[in-house]
C-alpha cells in the first residue's frame, strides 16, 4: 500500500474516532440527564440579581455545561461548584474559570454529586429525570436550601418563585 493511501486511511480512522468520542460525550449523555443547552447569560444574571442569597453561599450547578452559571455565581459573590459529565465541557469550564479560585468543576454526573453543603442548586434536567432528581435533592439538601430549575418543574411541587424560565423552590 502506498504511503499516501495509508495516510488517507489514518485520517479517516482519526476522523471517525473523534466523531465517536464527540457523539458519546454530547449525544449519549441525554440518557443520564439532559443535553447541553446553554442558559442565556441575561437570564442567569437576572436570577442572581433578584434572589436574596447571602454572599459566600455555595451554588452548585448540576450539569454545569460551559460554566457560565458558575462564572456568574462567582461574579455575584458566591462560591461555585459544578458537576459535568462531558469531559470536553468540563475542560472548557476549567479554562473559563481558571482565574476564579471560588469556582470548581468536577467531572462527574450529577447523580453522584454532593449537594449537602449547597445553599443553592441550579439544575437543567429533562422531564423523565425530574422526580428522581427531586428525591435526591430532598434527601441531601439542608433545610432552607434553594433549587433553581431552569425550563423544567418538579411535578406536583409548589413553585415558590418564578424568574423568567426559572422555577425556584425552597427546600
What is the tens place of the pLDDT at every residue in 52-94?
Answer: 889 999 999 999 999 999 999 999 999 999 999 888 899 999 9
Label residues 33-48 b or e (16+ Cβ within 10 Å = b). Answer: bbebeebeeebbeebb
pLDDT of 32 strictly over 60? no
pLDDT of 10 strictly over 80? no
What is the tens place of the pLDDT at every residue in 109-157?
Answer: 889 999 999 999 999 888 888 999 999 999 999 999 999 999 899 999 9
Domain that holds residue 4: 1-31
**Claim to verify: residue 27 and residue 54 sit in the same structural domain:** no
Question: Between the CA of residue 76 and those of 70, 83, 106, 111, 166, what are the distances in Å?
Answer: 10, 20, 21, 26, 18
Phi, psi of 38 (to 5 degrees): -65, 135
Mean pLDDT of 26-41: 64
Residue 36: inside a domain:
no
**Claim to verify: residue 161 and residue 139 sit in the same structural domain:** yes
Q: How far apart are CA 27 and CA 101, in angstroms?
A: 31
pLDDT at residue 139 in the model: 97
Q: How far apart are CA 26 and CA 66, in angstroms?
A: 12
Residue 27: inside a domain:
yes
Q: What is the pTM of this model?
A: 0.79
**Claim to verify: residue 53 and residue 7 sit in the same structural domain:** no
Mean pLDDT of 21-29: 55
Amino acid at each position: 500500500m502506498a504511503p499516501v493511501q495509508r495516510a488517507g486511511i489514518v485520517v479517516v480512522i482519526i476522523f471517525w474516532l473523534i466523531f465517536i468520542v464527540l457523539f458519546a460525550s454530547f449525544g449519549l449523555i441525554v440518557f443520564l440527564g439532559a443535553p447541553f443547552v446553554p442558559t442565556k447569560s441575561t437570564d442567569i444574571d437576572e436570577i442572581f440579581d433578584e434572589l436574596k442569597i447571602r454572599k459566600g453561599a455555595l451554588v452548585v450547578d448540576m450539569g454545569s455545561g460551559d460554566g457560565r452559571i458558575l462564572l456568574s455565581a462567582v461574579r455575584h459573590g458566591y462560591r461555585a461548584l459544578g458537576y459535568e459529565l462531558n469531559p470536553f465541557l468540563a475542560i472548557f469550564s476549567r479554562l473559563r474559570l481558571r482565574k476564579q479560585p471560588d469556582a470548581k468543576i468536577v467531572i462527574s454526573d450529577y447523580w453522584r454529586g454532593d449537594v449537602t453543603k449547597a445553599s443553592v442548586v441550579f439544575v437543567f434536567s429533562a422531564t423523565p429525570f425530574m422526580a428522581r432528581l427531586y428525591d435526591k435533592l430532598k434527601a441531601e439538601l439542608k433545610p432552607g436550601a434553594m433549587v433553581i430549575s431552569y425550563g423544567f418543574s418538579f411535578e406536583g411541587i409548589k413553585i415558590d418563585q418564578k424568574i423568567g424560565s426559572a422555577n425556584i423552590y425552597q427546600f
